[in-house]
Structure 1
Amino acid sequence: MNTTFSDDLFRRFRDLLLTRSGLYFPDHRRSDLHHCLTMVLPATGYATLEALYAAAVVDDKTLHTVIEGVTVGETYFFRNTSQFTALRDRILPDLIARREVIRSLRFWSAGCATGEEPYSLAILLHEALPDPDAWQITILATDINTAFLNRARAGVYGAWSFRETDPALRDRYFERLEGTRWRIRSDLRRQVLFARLNLVEDEYPAVMNGTTMQDVILCRNVLIYFDDDTIRAVVRRLYRALTPGGWLIVGHAEARSDFFAQFEVVNCPGTVIYRKPLHAPLFDEAIPSVPARQMVRPLSTTSADVASLLLPAPAAPSPSFVSDTPVADNAAPDTLAVARQAADRGDLATAMRLCETMVQHQPLSAEAHLLNGQILEQQGRLDEALAAYRRAVYLDHSLYLALLAMAGILHRTGHVDEAYRAYRRLLRALATLPPHAPVPSFDNATAAELQMFIQRQMEALRR
């Protein structure tokens, strides 16, 4: 096995990782990159790093393997105690006071690694909220590394992950397994939605992947792996993903004022946190899509991630649409695309108006009713969202996403029997597809994988 790492090969790997994942390896980290690639090489079946590079350029699976080999998953529960103290003592009281009426909170762990951070957040919320069961809590956890996400979904951890955790807290929220391993309680595990997302790609904030209107975003020890241009692009998108008054927490080494000029700076004991101003527009103006890097070819979303998010990728908008122009029937696809664009940037009012326009001109458009339901669900209007999903399913029985969304609302609102029937109906529909066939509107997810996901949901209903 040849692990020679010439100057030219270093530059090519460095540029490939930068353009395809945003990971930045400057010259002083050349030895780190070489070490990681050397460790990855045996598992790939290639004899040389040169051959590995050639494969990574053309094959997403190989590239994913390389990315997983060079990303760092070192983390543990309640890492950086001062930041969790700020969450408990500064951020949560603010959110509880402002959200007491609707009792709904949205959190996003961006760069969640193996899951210790979002699970720490779930535990903190359970401990700190006066009546946690009375609140609708959403915790989204994303990472670029699919191997980390699989470990996070399993929720099993060794003693090293608890090195700053009170043993009493660990015993309260984890089940002891063999040896020195513990598994997170199933009720907390179900609170967290894990999905693959590359922070460098311009795919968020978007209603379609659940990254809009966040109350708190934790993006800690992630930005340090990017160059300055990439950091600025990521921070702009994170700012847009926050609701007015929302909070951003980054790693201690990442708190550079020039990156966070749009935010208010809040000093807490032992840490600095950032807040989107309360007076910021509820719906930010669309920011021109300028990727931090021109992607050679975007990394595909894995089917396991699609099953976790239960949402498709947003459609590309039509640049020629003018919203004040009456919509003809043959313009309906453009109307739907622009409605999705408005929803993605958080302008739900415009998105809803466009959906209503489309429904008026194309009342049999199942896709319009589906998007209408997604917007209503985002606004917390679950009864109306459910009705929209029912209309979408009625118009197109093969619109599996609408049926799954309908089942999800029934599940969340405690309509156990109806949810079970909806899941079972979807299972029957998926059974008509070849097991390895991709399911329409679910990107790369196969029928077999979605069946497994739905079966787990049905099992949860019967617990």
Structure 2
Amino acid sequence: MVSEDIKKQWFRKAKEGWRLNKDIIEMVKFESVDLINDDYTDYKSLLHDMDIILCRNVFIYFIPEVVSRVILKLNETLNDGGYLMTGHAELPQQAIANLRPKVFPESVVYKKSSELGVRSEELKSRSQRLEVRSQKLEAKIPQTPSPLVGEGGGEGDISEAKELYNKGNYTLTIEKLGHILLTNPEHFETHCLIGQTYANIGEYEKAEAHLKKAIEIDKFNAEPYYLLAQISRENGRLEDEEEMLKKVIYLNPSHIPAYLEMGIIYEGKGDRDRAFKMRNTALNLLKSLPSDARIEPYTELTAEELIRHVQEMIK
């Protein structure tokens, strides 16, 4: 029910009930936009400097790569402090730059804050590369790292490379890691990180070569398989992605992202039973974590918030 005060201020009586005042109606503009292909991020666009965007039941019709591109565009159209509202569980896998999620029973609201993510001018370039890890975090330490040995290949070098990576300086990261490999070509962690770096700049062949080398060095570590799965998805090789994710789960039965991504694959195939099993396993693993824990690559959400997302997905 609308209060009488609001009716008097913003509405006028009509035969069929109440109508908005003319000055409010004239503020409304209708425009057709292609969310995927149109450049509505331009400052001259009517969609720029938005305070709130309502976008429910839209992303469910897009493949993940397209969802990422559209999110980045919508992000650019929002003012700092603006809101993006989506349906529940529509964006469970997206790294949403500088949008902080707030979960409600029937929806998710993302608030834009420049303090949380990268500058807007960096967003376009991010849409063209694979975001396999959050740049704000240290590169993931492998489960069984091999020691660095030899001149120029000390722990200081790998730490410097990680610092460069976290700053987004991929050229110097590759240069530093390449120097390490000259003195220690069998170092597992270095191959993983340089593969991850090449993936982030879209050089997938080089990324895959280093990740496959990492597997040769330690075939029982799940990390390079997971990175290869994401590269396969980015390049539309869904069968390869599925194969890699199965290996991840075999090697690391507690790998929550692998279960969630397998759930998406099975759902896409119409196999709801397997999709449910994958998501239910992820849900049980999430429940074993502290409520404020954060899991790569979903670091914008806590374990508690992820639980709500997954519960909605398996209803």
CA 334–242 in structure 1, closer or farther in 2 if over 3 Å, else same: closer
Relative to the length of structure 2, the TM-score reads 0.55
Residue matched to 2:267: 411
CA shift in 2, pair 1:345/1:433, >3 Å: same
The offset of 1:401, in angstroms, is 1.7
d(CA) in 2 for partners of 1:451 and 1:328?
41
**Partner residue in 1 for 2:134:** 313
Does structure 1 residue 115 correspond to structure 2 residue 53?
A: yes
1:193, distance to aligned residue in structure 2 (A) = 7.6
Given residue 217 of structure 2, which amino acid in structure 1 is its aligned partner?
H
Deviations 1:62-97 (A, max 9, x none): xxxxxxxxxxxxxxxx9683x73xx49xx58xxxxx
1:384 deviates by 1.1
1:372–1:388 CA contact under 8 A, matched in 2:
yes
What is the one-letter code of the residue matched to 2:134? Answer: A
C-alpha displacement at 1:242, in angstroms?
A: 4.8
Please, which runs of 5 or more residues in structure 1 have no aligned partner?
1-77, 93-108, 127-132, 155-185, 200-221, 226-232, 244-282, 284-308
Structure-2 residue corresponding to 1:153: 86
Q: Which residue of 2 is the match for residue 380 of structure 1?
A: 236
Task: Decide whether the 8 Å contact of 2:92 with 2:309 is kept in 1.
Answer: no
- 1:434 deviation in Å? 3.1
1:435: how far off?
2.9
Partner of 2:287: 431
Given that 2:245 and 2:258 are in contact with CA atoms closer than 8 Å, whether structure 1 keeps it comes out as yes
For structure 2, list consecutive stretches of 5 or more residues without a partner in the other structure.
1-27, 39-46, 100-111, 140-161, 166-172
* Matched AA of 2:312: R
- SS of the residue 1:414 aligns to: coil
| Contact 1:373/1:386 (<8 A) preserved | yes
* 1:12-411 pair list within 5 angstroms: 81=31, 84=33, 87=34, 114-116=52-54, 122=58, 136=63, 138-140=66-68, 141-142=71-72, 143=75, 148-149=82-83, 152-153=85-86, 190=90, 196-198=96-98, 234-235=120-121, 238=124, 241-242=127-128, 312-314=133-135, 315=139, 316=162, 317=165, 318=173, 319-322=175-178, 325=182, 328-329=185-186, 331-411=187-267
User: What count of residue pairs does the alignment treat as equivalent?
Assistant: 221
Task: Kindly state the Cα deviation for residue 359 of structure 1 after the two structures are TM-superposed.
Answer: 1.1
Q: Percent identity?
A: 17
Q: Sort the Cα spacing of 1:393 and 1:448 in 2 relative to 1 into closer, same or farther, 3 A.
A: same
- Confirm whether residue 457 of structure 1 aligns to residue 313 of structure 2: yes
CA RMSD of aligned residues (A): 4.5
Following TM superposition, by how much is the alpha carbon of 1:431 offset from its aligned partner in structure 2, in angstroms?
2.3
Deviation of residue 239 (structure 1)? 5.2
**Partner SS state of residue 418, structure 1:** helix
Contact 1:407 1:422 in 2 (8 A): yes
What's the TM-score, normalizing by structure 1?
0.39
Aligned counterparts of 1:351 and 1:436: Cα–Cα separation in 2? 32
Deviations 1:368-415 (A, max 9, x none): 110010000111111110110111121112221222222222223322
3-state secondary structure, aligned to 1:152: strand
Distance verdict in 2 for CA 1:242–1:428, change over 3 Å:
closer
- Greater helix proportion: 1
Name the SS of the counterpart of 2:67 in structure 1: strand
After superposition, what is the alpha-carbon deviation per residue over 1:325-360, rounded to whole angstroms, capped at 9, x for unaligned? Answer: 48644x211211111111111112211111111111
Cα displacement (A) at 1:433: 2.2
Cα deviation code 1:24-82 (max 9, x no counterpart): xxxxxxxxxxxxxxxxxxxxxxxxxxxxxxxxxxxxxxxxxxxxxxxxxxxxxx9683x
Distance in 1 between the 2:184 and 2:281 partners?
35
